[in-house]
Amino acid sequence: MCQNHGVVYMGPGEVQVQEIDYPKLALGDRKCEHGVILKIVSTNICGSDQHMVRGRTTASAGLVLGHEITGQVVEVGRDVEFIKVGDIVSVPFNIACGRCRNCKEGKTGICLNVNPSRPGAAYGYVDMGGWVGGQAEYVMVPYADFNLLKFPDNDQALAYIKDLTMLSDIFPTGFHGAVSAGVGPGSVVYVAGAGPVGLACAASCHLLGAAVVIVGDLNEERLEQARSFGCETVNLNTDVELADQIAAIVGVPEVDCFVDCVGFEARAHSHGGSSEEQPAVVLNQAMEITRAGGAIGIPGLYVTEDPGAVDGAAKQGNLKIRFGLGWAKSHCFHTGQCPVMKYHRQLMNAILYDKIKIADAVNVQVISLNDAPQGYADFDKGAARKYVIDPHGMIRA
């Protein structure tokens, strides 16, 4: 009888739940004494996963997906000192050694030792080190003492699990986007994209004290979700210019802070009534509507290779942006993966002390592991939900 099943990328547009190997405390041929094996409590479907499943990356068939992991420790390596069997923990999607220069500087999203191809690694993701993903029943996590966030109490963790499962990625990522855009008390903020990261960012802006949070998207269902927790919204599926819609809300056609939660598959509304892919449209909107001296946070994913891009330049990650405008307005741009460990403990406390209801903001829907392929399909159609996989029935129980 198989002890482990996982969600496997089969090729563009297809994922399957298959039998996969039970994880070992091993890195290739050598023992991984600094690692642990987790029984998955929850594992989430991410918009970044969708880029691979749509065929918009160079991911190969057979990849076990999943980088948003919360689990219970069932086995520990000999060198693990502070994490114990039975602990419930959040796993940052960034895999980090804790020893290299970047890790010691807190830049855990670009660890130098966990990916032979380039700085930075993640579970179940293309070009990110070949680590097995966590949309499964069990997974191995290396450098456990450094990487894992232990929850203070297991019963409390399970009571808050729909919120705490967001700590592995989208809550810190959205928060990071807001922080890097300079959001603070009284800020007027525009968040591009009302997917789960955009909604998490909008909720984070409120947590940081923003006066007005405006969310823009082409999907009215997702905009309704943003309005459900106090955001202003603009529907980009209209001929009215974004700057004019901003002015209608705050009186001027600009904002203090801009956060791009869309990334390289961005679409712009065309006057013919449909949307067409324009991978640089959000970046150019950011420079247009951010005030002089403002900041632009870019947690939305941009890739170095996109086989499905609209032109040859974009296939190599070369986008046509009006950078001169951003220079003239003295904009600050901040890109790259969120260093989850920079934020996850503080955000855990915000959840446990009822300062934020992040699961409500992103509209969590719990599904079984076997329902994951349907979750991918529904998410790809624009469902205003965050799909949380419950492989062992622990959340429902």
10-residue mean pLDDT profile of the chain (397 residues): values are: 89 96 94 98 96 94 98 98 98 98 98 96 96 98 98 98 98 98 98 98 98 97 98 94 97 98 87 75 97 98 91 92 97 97 98 98 98 97 97 94
CATH code reported for the domain at 173-335: 3.40.50.720
For the entire predicted model, the pTM comes to 0.97
pLDDT at 270: 57
Q: What angle do CA 56, 285, 295 make, to 5 degrees?
A: 100
CATH architecture of residue range(s) 5-169+339-389: Alpha-Beta Complex (3.90)
Q: What is the pLDDT of residue 254?
A: 98
Strands 232-235 and 212-217 turn out to be: parallel
Cα angle 26-30-31, degrees, rounded to a multiple of 5: 50
pLDDT computed for residue 88 by the predictor:
98
Helix, coil or strand: residue 197: helix
- Tell me how far apart the alpha carbons of residues 98 and 95 are, in angstroms, rounded to a whole number: 9
Question: What are the C-alpha distances in Å from 213 to residues 178, 190, 255, 265, 272?
Answer: 11, 6, 10, 23, 29
Contact 332, 295 (CB under 8 A): yes
Cα(37)–Cα(212) distance, rounded to whole angstroms?
43
Predicted pLDDT of residue 273: 54
pLDDT of res. 268: 85
Residue ranges of the chain that CATH labels 3.40.50.720: 173-335
Positions of CATH 3.90.180.10 in the chain: 5-169+339-389
Longest dimension (CA), the chain: 64
Per-residue pLDDT, 2: 66
pLDDT for the residue numbered 276: 85
Element (H, E) at 232: strand 232-235
